[in-house]
Amino acid sequence: MPTWKVSYFSGVGGRSEFMVGQAPAELGVTVVDPGMSDAEKIELCKDADAIISSDVSLDVLRQCPNVKLIQTLSAGYDRLDLSAILEMGIPVANNGGANAIAVAEHTVALIINVGKRLMLQWDSTTKRREWRGGLYLEDLQELTDKTVGIVGLGRIGKHVAKRLTGFDTHTIFYDIVDVPEDVQEELKVEPAEFDDLLRESDIVSMHVPLSRRTRGMVSDREFDLMKESAILINACRGPVVDEAALYRALQDGKIAAAGLDVLEAEPTPADNPLLELDNVVVTPHMAGQSQETNLRAATFAYSNIMRVLQGEEAESLVTPE
């Protein structure tokens, strides 16, 4: 018989079955559909010792007196009322390392895809059956020898930098946290002030958490600083980039193109004007997903929960700014 109870907030389907199957014998896992009413969620969670979720309301938590940890399956925790939850005495831990490799690989894929305009080539050749070789010749960019600016050299940013070493890029970074010199040397990166990074970079790649500090971090002023040939990549959180300002920058030629895995509203409305632009590649917030990510996330989540329920301190705890 399980010793403790865990409520896992997820839609029904393959991942739910996977998560239940990965749980250690000591944990009994109940799947909670996020679309349920609060009353239904409370009924399933009221005896939970831990909750796996990145979006659980305070009204639900107030009826769950046994919860000793809220564990997310990703790096993001912006949908949680962190300050209020911590005031309730419930620690929150994220899972930033689990998807770092997948997001980094997706980021590099977006950089190459946008720079080589692969989606336009695919659309004209495969979908429209039009052989249009040479059409985009003047617009195609190599990644080698480009200056890449990484905004946020955390777990994901470091993995991006590591992968870029194979392309012989000049990689610079901006972060509010000091990065040890030996790490900089290993990753072949150089620090830069944010505005200088924007001015110098051929590619700007965003890898920061969403917070009061980073919401709207890139807007009209920042686009004015960037090169007209620059590419913006956002694979962190949509609201980090002012979407209306991005559209204006792309329309007015302030920057050349963008690769986006995240948008301000998700699912994004079908009439989002960014979807009409041929210099934008959008993927549906899938950068962090992979079979390997799911296994790493589940393994860390359950081990962290076990750690807390056995009286130890959780790893990867998050705190308010």
Residues marked as catalytic: 237, 266, 285
Q: How do strand 147-151 and strand 92-93 relate by DSSP bridges? A: unpaired
Question: In angstroms, rounded to a whole number, what is the distance separating the alpha carbons of residues 109 and 103?
Answer: 10
Q: What's the angle, vertex CA 26, arms to CA 23 and CA 27, rounded to 5? A: 50
Q: Measured between alpha carbons, how far is residue 198 from residues 51, 94, 224, 291 in Å?
A: 40, 29, 9, 34
Structure tokens at 255: 């920057």
60 φ/ψ angles, rounded to the nearest 5 degrees = -70, -45
Contact assessment for residue 201 and residue 230, using Cβ atoms and an 8 Å cutoff: yes
Contact assessment for residue 86 and residue 112, using Cβ atoms and an 8 Å cutoff: no
Q: Measured between alpha carbons, how far is residue 35 from residues 10, 39, 51, 54, 74 in Å?
A: 9, 11, 16, 14, 20
**Residue closest to 195 by CA, chosen among 186, 204, 187, 183:** 204
**CA-based max dimension of the chain:** 66
**Residue closest to 16 by CA, chosen among 57, 58, 64, 52:** 52
Question: In angstroms, rounded to a whole number, what is the distance separating the alpha carbons of residues 272 and 158?
Answer: 32
224 φ/ψ angles, rounded to the nearest 5 degrees = -65, -25
Distance of CA 43 to the CA centre of its chain: 31
Using CA of residue 227, residue 100, residue 260, residue 151, what is the dihedral sign? negative
